[in-house]
Amino acid sequence: MNHSDGHFDEMTGLLYLEGQLDPGRASEVSAHLGSCVPCREIVHALETEGVWLREALAAEDESIPARVIAAPERGTAHWGWIAAFALGTGGAYTLWSSFVEPWLTQASQAGFTQGNLLTMLFFTGAFWKGWDAMRSLTEFMAVATLGTLVIWLLRKQWQRFTAIAFVMGALVGALALPQPVAAADVQHGNPGYTLPAGQEVKTDLIVAAERTRIDGDVDGDLIVFSDSLIVNGHVKGDILAFGAEVRVNGPVDGNVRVWCQSFALDSAVARNAMAWTGASDFNEKSRVGGTLTLFSGATELDGKIGGDLLAYAGDLSIGGSLGHDAAIRGGKLNVGPNAEIAGQTKYKGDHEPEVSPGAKLGSPIQFTLVKRGTDYTRGRYYWHQILYWGAGFLLGLVMLLVMPGFFFDVAQACKRVGPAVGFGALFLFATPIAAIIVCATIVGLSVGLPVLLFYGIAVYAAKIFVGAWLGEQLLGPGVGVGPALGRLALGLAILRGIRMLPYAGPLAGLIIAMWGFGALVLVLHRRISAPPAGGSLSAA
Amino acid sequence: MDRRTTTGTMNDADLAQVLSQVRAGDSDAWGELYRQYAPAIFRFCRRLLPAREDAEDATTEIFMKVRQKLGTYDSSRPFTAWLYKVASNHCWDTLRRRRIRQDLETGDLDTLPLEHPDPSQLERLQAEHTSKEVRTGLARLPDRARMALVLRYYADMSYEEIADTLGVRRAFVGVLLLRARHQLRDALSESGGASALKASAGGTP
C-alpha cells in the first residue's frame, strides 16, 4: 500500500479501475477493497466520475455545421473550373478584341511607328531608365512571388499572424522598392527652387518644391514634383513633371511627359510629348517633333506637331498644323481656319466636329457618334455582364477552395444585415481615408499601401460573400464545395441582374458592397479577437 | 460503452466495402464514408479546439489527411481507432503549433501532490453540474490535460495510444489523467461556487 496508514492512494485506485495494474497488484488492491470501506468509497467515487465524464463528453447539444455534414466531393468542383476557364478565355479575348487591339490599331494609324505604344512609352521615353531599373522590377516580382507563397503556407495561422504578416509584408514591399537614383542632383525647395539663368546642371535634376523655376540649363532629365513649374532654360533630356501648373518656355531635346492641372507649351520639343491635364495650351510658337498624346480636358492646339496626334480630350480646338494623322476621342472638336492636317483624321465624339471652311485637311474627318448610357439592345452589353459575373465567380471559387472556413464565415455573417451594412458603410469610407493619412509618413507608407491594396480586393470581393449568402437563402444550406459553388453562381447572377437595373443598379451595387464589406469586417474582428485555446467550448 | 464502435452506423462488411471503393477512387463511396464519420470527428475536434471555426476547419483537414493516408490503414485494426488517431494527432499538432499551452512540464506533474478527494463532495459536484458546464470547464484546462481526458473518455483510446499521441511515456498517462481530473474538479468548483473538493486535513482514506 502506498499510504502509511495502510490505504492505497488515488492514483492506484484509478489505475485499478482502468485495468492498468499488473495482475498481482490488481489482486492485492482487490483484496484490500473487500475489507476497507474508505478505499472502496474512493474507488466507487472515481468510477462514477469516469461515467459522469463520459456522459458529459458524449452529450450532443450542439448542431453540426452544414459544411461538415456532407462530403467535400472533389469532382463537384470540376464544372466550376471549366466554367471559370471558359469565361476567362472569353474575357481575355473580349479584352483584347474590344480594347487592346483597337487601341493599338488606333495608335498605329496615328503614326506610332515604333511597333507599339508600350515600347514607345517605356523604352524610348522618359520612363525607361535602363536595365538596372528592370532588374529591380524583376527582384520586386521575385519578392512578391515569394511573399505570396509564404502567405499561402501560413494561411492556416492567418488569424494569429495577421498583424505580423501585414507589417512584415509591407516592410518587404517597402524594401523592395527601387532605390532612389544616385546619379542625380536632388533639390528640395524651401519653399521654392530656382535654377538661375546662366547656370547648368550637368546631370539629371530632381526637384521637389512648392514653386519651381528653371531659368538655367539641364544637361540631363528634369523631374519635378511641384505646384508650379516654369521652364525657361534648355533641357537636353526629358521633362517629367507632376504638379498643378506646368509651363515650358524653353527648348527640350527629349520628351515631355506631364501630369498636371494646366499645361502650356511655348517652345520646341524635339521628340514626343504626352500630357495628362485638366487644360492644355499649345500656343503658336510650340513645336513637337514627334507624336503628341493628350489626355486632357480643354485643349488649344495652335502649334506645329511633326508626328501624329492621339487625343482623349473633352474639348479640343485645333488651330495649328499636324504633320501626320490624328485619332481623337472626346466631347467636342473644333478645327479652325488656320488648321492643317496632312493625314487622316478620325474622331469619335458626342457632337459633330465643327470644321472651318478655311481648314486644310488631307482627307475629310471620319466621324463616329458615341452614344452615352447603357445600350440594352446590344448583345455585347450582355456578354460583358456575363464576364463581370464570371470574374466574380472565379474569385469566389478561388476563395472557396483556398480558405473555405473563412469564406463560409463571411457568407454567414451576411445574414446580420443591419450590423453588416452599418459597419460596411463606416469602414468602406473610413478605411481609404485612414490609409491615405497613414501613407503621409514614410513608415506608414509601408502599412498604408498594403491596406489600400487589400481594401480594393475586399470591396471587389464583397458582392461574392453576399452572393454566396443569397444563393444559400434561396436553395437552402449548402453541403460541400460543389453545392456551395452552385449557390454562389446563382447569388452572383441575381446580384448582377440587380446591378443592371437602370438608375437603381448603381445604388444597389453600393449597398451590396457595404453589406459584404461589413460582413468581412465582422468576421475579421471576430477572428482577430478570438480567445486563445482555453476559451469556452460552448461560446459558439 | 466504446465510442469508437458506436461512431457511424455502417457494419463491418459495409465499411470494408466502402473503404475498398474509396481506395479505388470512388467519389460516392468517399462521400458515404465522410457523411458517416464527419459529425463524430467534428464533435471530437469541438471538444479539443477552442473555437467552433477551428473544429470545422480541422474536420475538413482531417478528412483530407484520411483520404491521403488511407493506403497506410491496416484493415485488421478497427477503422474508427485509426480515424481517431489521425484526428487526435491533427488536433494535438494544431494546439502545439499555436504554442499557447499552459501545461506544466512533465517533471512538475510527476512531483505534484495529488490530495485525495472527499467521495461525498465528488458526488455533489457531479450532481450540481450539467454536461455543458463540464465541457465549459474542460475548455479552461491546459491543452494536454484536456487532450488526455477527451482521448480517454470520449475517444476511448488506450493508454498506449494516448502516450503515442501526446508524446509521453505510457506510465505517465495515468498521472496525466488523474491530474486532469483534479484540474477539472477545481475548475468546476471555482465556476460553480461549490465548496472545495480537497479533503480537510486527515480526511483521506
Contacts of B136 in chain A (CB under 8 A): 536-538
And the C-alpha cell for A66? 452544414
A298 and A243 share one domain: yes
Q: What are phi and psi of A324, to 5 degrees?
A: -130, -135
A180 within a domain of the structure (yes/no): no
A386 within a domain of the structure (yes/no): yes
Residue ending a domain, among A58, A75, A97, is A58
CB distance B85 to B161 below 8 Å: yes
Closest by Cα among A11, A10, A3 to B199: A10
- CA gap B98, B93 in Å, rounded: 9
The single-letter DSSP state of residue A181 is P
Which residue of B131, B136, B151 to mutate against A (max A Cβ within 10 Å)? B131
A75 within a domain of the structure (yes/no): no
Q: Can you give the pLDDT at residue A529?
A: 65
A318 and A192 share one domain: yes
Which residue of A9, A16, A53, A406 to mutate against B (max B Cβ within 10 Å)? A53
CA distances to A204, A370, A394, A461, A511 from A472, rounded to whole Å, are 61, 42, 18, 17, 19
Residue ending a domain, among A58, A77, A97, is A58
3-state secondary structure of A273: strand
Burial of A406 (0-12, 13-18, 19+ CB in 10 A): buried
Structural domain boundaries enclosing A40:
10-58
Measured in angstroms, the CA of A157 and the nearest CA of chain B are apart by 8
A144 within a domain of the structure (yes/no): no
A451 and A317 share one domain: no
Ranges under pLDDT 50 in chain A:
1, 4, 74-77, 111, 113-131, 135, 156-161, 163, 177-182, 531-540
Q: Does B139 touch chain A (CB under 8 A)?
A: yes
Contacts of B119 in chain A (CB under 8 A): 41-42, 44-45
Q: Give Cβ neighbours of residue A181 (< 8 Å, ≥ 6 apart).
A: A129, A204, A206
- Beta carbons of B60 and A57 less than 8 Å apart: no
Q: What residue spans in chain B does CATH classification 1.10.1740.10 cover?
A: 3-98
**Domains in chain A, number:** 3
Residue ending a domain, among A36, A58, A80, is A58
Contacts of A43 in chain B (CB under 8 A): none
Q: Can you give the pLDDT at residue A331?
A: 80
Tell which B residues from 114 to 133 touch A, by Cβ distance under 8 Å. 114, 116-117, 119, 122-123, 126, 130-132
CB distance A239 to A259 below 8 Å: no
Closest by Cα among A293, A325, A322 to A305: A322
Q: Quote the distance between the C-alpha of residue B78 and its chain's center.
A: 17
Contacts of B132 in chain A (CB under 8 A): 59, 61, 538
Q: Can you give the pLDDT at residue B205?
A: 41
A397 and A329 share one domain: no
A434 and A289 share one domain: no
Name the residue among A11, A57, A69 with its Cβ closest to that of B114.
A11
Contacts of A4 in chain B (CB under 8 A): none
A538 within a domain of the structure (yes/no): no
ipTM, two decimals, is 0.81
One DSSP character per residue, A16-29 reads: HHTT-S-HHHHHHH
A407 and A510 share one domain: yes
Closest by Cα among B93, B96, B71, B95 to B82: B71
Indicate the CATH number of B3-98 among 1.20.1250.20, 1.10.1040.10, 2.120.10.70, 1.10.1740.10. 1.10.1740.10
pLDDT by 10s per residue, chain B, length 205? 455 545 556 777 888 888 888 877 777 788 888 888 888 899 899 888 878 888 888 898 898 888 888 888 888 888 888 999 999 999 988 888 765 444 444 444 545 555 667 777 777 778 788 888 888 888 888 888 999 999 999 888 899 999 988 888 888 899 999 999 988 888 888 776 444 444 433 333 4
The reported pTM is 0.41
Q: Does B46 touch chain A (CB under 8 A)?
A: yes
Specify the CATH architecture of the domain B106-192.
Orthogonal Bundle (1.10)
Q: Per residue in A174-214, pLDDT tens?
A: 555 444 444 567 777 778 899 999 999 888 888 888 889 99
And the C-alpha cell for B93? 499538432
- Beta carbons of A42 and B116 less than 8 Å apart: yes
A353 and A393 share one domain: no
Q: What residue spans in chain B does CATH classification 1.10.10.10 cover?
A: 106-192
How big is the A-B interface in CB pairs under 8 Å?
173
A390 and A475 share one domain: yes
- Beta carbons of B123 and A67 less than 8 Å apart: no
Which residue of B34, B109, B151 to mutate against A (max A Cβ within 10 Å)? B34
Contacts of B142 in chain A (CB under 8 A): 534
A407 within a domain of the structure (yes/no): yes
Q: Can you give the pLDDT at residue A448?
A: 78
A286 and A409 share one domain: no
Q: Can you give the pLDDT at residue A178?
A: 46
One DSSP character per residue, A378-443 reads: -HHHHHHHHHHHHHHHHHHHHHHHH-HHHHHHHHHHTT-HHHHHHHHHHHHHHHHHHHHHHHTSHH
3-state secondary structure of B67: helix
